[in-house]
Amino acid sequence: MLTGGVGGARFLRGLVDAVDPAGVTAIVNVGDDVEVLGLAVSPDLDSVLYALAGLADDERGWGRAEETWNALATVESLGGEAWFRLGDRDLGLHLVRTQALRAGKPLSTVTAALTASLGLETAILPATDEPLRTWLDTPNGSFPFQEWFVARSHRDPVDRVRFEGAVEARPAPGVLDALHEADLILIAPSNPFVSIGPVLAVERIRSALERRRVPCVAVSPLIGGRAVKGPAASMLMRLNGGTSAAHVTQCYVGLIDALVIDEADAADVDAVSALGVRPIVTRTLMRNAAARRQLAEAALDAVALA
Ligand code: GDP
Ligand code: CA
């Protein structure tokens, strides 16, 4: 499964409820990665780790449950960099990761160690071990992802998304094997531009999808033409010209065989089919464990029906 952070992690939880977790590989966006206070932060990898380990704060929607913010309060009181919200529990993980990276370990190795420490059976792989960073070109300037998303609250309209380092970036160890050996490839209901886009910007990942011999099924992150959270709809409007399920499909033409869309978007089925993609209509709001699992099963059924 190709995935970003929070939306993707929700779907992944449903998936590992529906199938053997050890049979699942998550290929995770690293375009959001950022250095804060000297620490290497990988927000999407961490969302996936926390979600699968049952440590995520479901209400806040990001970070860890039962979080406290003492370290950040100290940073702020000392005039340090405090725009990126790092909680105390979260900080512990960034310390461990940063030390391992500084010792020369690749991100994939570090992530595997964290996954094992948390007792997870699912393989969690960064899309690449090399630096790949998402940039947004806007009428107000060009910004690295977190500056645009967090510091500027993603309010600048996006004219273009760029992936610095993508041309040179090779897939992390295990990524191509997972894609070649999979029975099914899934694309999570993550933001197509800034969560899945950076993964697909790694040329050999994109070509593995283009040449797939197994079905690839994506889940739309929009319900009734609106994002459940975040800038997906406004980006689709500006970059693809609309927010229908067909506009979501356009992001993945040639890469997917089916798109799971919400009942609220059922009117778009013909427009999705016209792009050569089979629409699967179901309820896609993952409000609880049962809904997450039902959505994962709908995506898995897409294959059985194909
Ligand atoms: P991020 O990396 O943390 O921003 O998270 P993702 O890119 O993985 O997920 C963000 C996307 O998830 C947004 O576009 C949301 O619309 C979508 N999303 C969140 N919850 C749900 C849900 O319950 N159902 C669906 N279909 N999409 C969701
Ligand atoms: Ca993200």
Read out DSSP for 83-102? Answer: SS---HHHHHHHHHHHHHHH
**What is the identity of the amino acid at 160?**
R
Q: Which tens digit of pLDDT belongs to each residue from 168-217?
A: 999 999 999 999 999 999 999 999 999 999 999 999 999 999 999 999 99
Starting from the CA of residue 31, give the closest ligand: 2
Ligand 1 center from residue 273 Cα (angstroms): 23
In whole angstroms, what is the distance from residue 177 CA to residue 166 CA?
Answer: 20
Q: Which of 3, 153, 190, 295 to mutate to test the pocket of ligand 1 (most atoms within 8 A of CB)?
A: 190
Q: Which of 229, 268, 282 to mutate to test the pocket of ligand 1 (most atoms within 8 A of CB)?
A: 229
Bridge partner residues of 134 (DSSP): 163
Average pLDDT for residues 86-114, to the nearest whole number? 98
Q: Cβ of 117: how many Cβ atoms within 10 Å?
A: 12
Starting from the CA of residue 32, give the closest ligand: 2
Instruction: Specify the 3-state DSSP secondary structure of 261.
Output: strand
Ligand 1 atom with minimal separation from the 10 CA: 20
- What pLDDT score does 302 carry? 83
Instruction: Name the residue at shortest CA distance from atom 19 of ligand 1.
Output: 7
Ligand 2 center from residue 243 Cα (angstroms): 20
Residue with tokens 């039902």: 294
Those residues whose C-beta lies under 8 Å from the C-beta of residue 142, and which sit 6 or more positions away, are 135, 136, 162
Average pLDDT for residues 77-81, to the nearest whole number? 97
- What pLDDT score does 7 carry? 94
Instruction: Name the residue at shortest CA distance from atom 27 of ligand 1.
Output: 221
Q: Which tens digit of pLDDT belongs to each residue from 237-287?
A: 999 999 999 999 999 999 999 999 999 999 999 999 999 999 999 999 999
Tokens of 18: 């529906």
Residue 76 has pLDDT above 70, yes or no: yes
- What pLDDT score does 61 carry? 86
Buried b (16+ CB within 10 A) or exposed e, 246-262: bbbbbbbeebbbbbbbb
Burial group, residue 78, by CB count within 10 angstroms (0-12, 13-18, 19+): exposed
- What pLDDT score does 303 carry? 77
Pocket of ligand 1 (CB under 6 A): 3-8, 10, 44, 47, 188-191, 195, 220-221, 223, 227-230, 232, 284-286
Residue 306 has pLDDT above 60, yes or no: no
Residue 141 has pLDDT above 80, yes or no: yes
Kindly report the length of the chain. 306
* Ion ligand 2, residues whose Cβ is below 5 A away: 4-5, 32, 44
Average pLDDT for residues 281-303, to the nearest whole number? 96
Q: What is the mean pLDDT of the chain?
A: 97
Starting from the CA of residue 225, give the closest ligand: 1
The CA angle 240-280-188, to the nearest 5 degrees, is 60
Buried b (16+ CB within 10 A) or exposed e, 88-113: ebbbebbeebbebbeeebbbbebbbe
**What is the identity of the amino acid at 28?**
V
Q: Specify whether the CB–CB gap between 260 and 305 falls below 8 A.
A: no
